[in-house]
Chain A
Amino acid sequence: MANRYWNEYQKNIADDHYYYERSCIRQTFFPGSETAFLKMMQDELGKDIFDDFRLHTCTGIGYHTDVVPLETTMTVVARIFSLMKERGYENLVPSCITSFGVFTEMCHMWQEHPELLEQTRENLYKACKREFDMPKNIAHPSDLIFKYRFELAEKMKYRLVNRFTGKPLNVVEHIGCHYAKLFPDKGVGKAEFPYVLAGMIEAWGGHVVDYPERRHCCGFGFRQYLVQENRGYSVSNTKKKLESMEPYEPDFIVSNCPGCSMFLDRWQYTIAEMEHKTYDREGYGIPVLTYEEMAGLLLGYDPWELGLQIHQVQSERLLDKIGIPYDPKQKYNSASGKILRAPEKPENLLV
């Protein structure tokens, strides 16, 4: 009986032949995540996934901040779909949760209002003589890693276990609101029982922290952040989450959304500066990883190639707990071996 109900919370995820859409902001915030994901899909799982250099913005951030009109967003999204059609793919995998939400929303609107679909076809054709089809399947990369979590587990060198105590690591998972709160049936576990990240954590040996504000927004909220005077709303929401998870002593936070990973991480610096408060015992803050970084680390990828040094809260103490080796001397070297300048140390958050 329980399984029958749980079936309603599952999502249809295509098995192979994916068209990957990179994210505008993720490549800056988490420079190693997308490459690591492609490596997992192609090298570890042997899937066909196409990384198209011609792709462009989905307009998501402009759309959600009301500076890009709906018709423009529809036409730009249609152009992305036309590029996918040209390459012969039908299963779209957008790296960014905002893009995932925008694609899902546009397709939903076109299904409900066929006249908008016709208008968009016309706009796209007039603008660039292109034609498009809606994707057969839209899945987020975290859906794919979730789907193949047991296959990946077989290849993993490490587990989410504290090697000093032998106990599972306490992991806070946070799914982006635009993953399962816009269209709940498009997310694994819907909005009520978010399971896409929790499933990975459990499969890889960790313990999922179920804390009171687990489903609360990370605070990003687009306009809450983009207008400087409004940023108090953003940081206050993040603080609410951090305060709520603090008593459970999480070893790290993992998220599937660029905004969430960014703000849960960077606001820890801001709160430390403003209120001299950190949310771990020793004053280092709680590391925040993307799901690709979490999977990549367990698969044995180099932490600095994954880009962990770019985060605000540094991850060496977490790597020590899992038993992942790293070379401190390589931390601020570029991929070509050039020595880059180490960043300044903040006053109130230890690094």
Chain B
Amino acid sequence: MIDFGFAIKQTRQENLDKVSLEKYHKLLDLTPSFKRCFQCGNCSATCSARQFTDFSIRRVHTSFRRGEYDGLAEELRKCMLCGKCTLVCPRGVNLRSLIMNMREILDEPQKSGKQ
């Protein structure tokens, strides 16, 4: 290939024609409070795991919501399930339930998670 001295950047645009939101809808069935999330980031700000790693729970659940699942199962292993995020969430999202259900859906897509 010719070396043009620059590269084409991949878009971060959400293209709903190209992604499947099946897993996200399943997650909403299992943890309906997630519908109320308005992406404030309080969960990430308070997260204990965040103090020591680059883990961001908000980034994880935002990617899940966009249908971008690559690498999320591994990311979620950094969570210690301490529940601080659930305490601070101003919208009452049950984050521990959300995290458990995301793990289950990502690890075993056929098995349903628990509330």
- Which residues of A come within 8 Å of B, CB atoms? 228-233, 235-236, 239-240, 270-271, 273-275
Contact = CB atoms under 8 A, between A and B. Distances in A.
Contacts of B8: 232, 235-236, 239, 271, 274-275
Contacts of A239: 8, 11
Interface in B38-83: none
B9 A236 contact: yes
13 contacts: A228-B6, A231-B4, A231-B5, A231-B6, A232-B7, A236-B9, A240-B11, A270-B4, A273-B1, A273-B2, A274-B4, A274-B7, A275-B8
Contacts of B9: 232-233, 236
B13 interface: yes
A229 B5 contact: yes
Interface of B: 1-2, 4-9, 11, 13
Contacts of A274: 1, 4, 7-8
Contacts of A240: 11, 13
Contacts of A275: 8
The 7 A-B pairs of least Cβ separation, nearest first, read: A231-B6, A232-B6, A236-B9, A228-B5, A232-B7, A232-B9, A235-B8
A235 B1 CA distance: 16
Contacts of B1: 273-274
Nearest to B2: A273
Contacts of A228: 5-6
A235 B11 contact: no
A331 B69 CA distance: 52
Given A229-B5, A231-B4, 20 more contacts: A228-B5, A228-B6, A229-B6, A230-B6, A231-B5, A232-B6, A232-B7, A232-B8, A232-B9, A235-B8, A236-B8, A236-B9, A236-B11, A239-B11, A270-B4, A273-B2, A273-B4, A274-B1, A274-B4, A274-B8
Nearest to A271: B8
A273 B1 CA distance: 7
Contacts of B2: 273
Nearest to B13: A240
A227 to B, nearest CB: 9
Contacts of B6: 228-232, 235
Contacts of B13: 240
A348 to B, nearest CB: 9
Contacts of B11: 236, 239-240
A142 B45 CA distance: 53
Contacts of A232: 6-9
A273 B9 CA distance: 15
Nearest to A276: B1
Nearest to A240: B11
Nearest to B4: A270
B16 to A, nearest CB: 11
Contacts of B4: 231, 270, 273-274
Looking at A229, A271, A274, the one whose CB has the most chain B CB atoms below 10 A away is A274
Nearest to B7: A232
Nearest to A213: B13
A275 B8 CA distance: 9
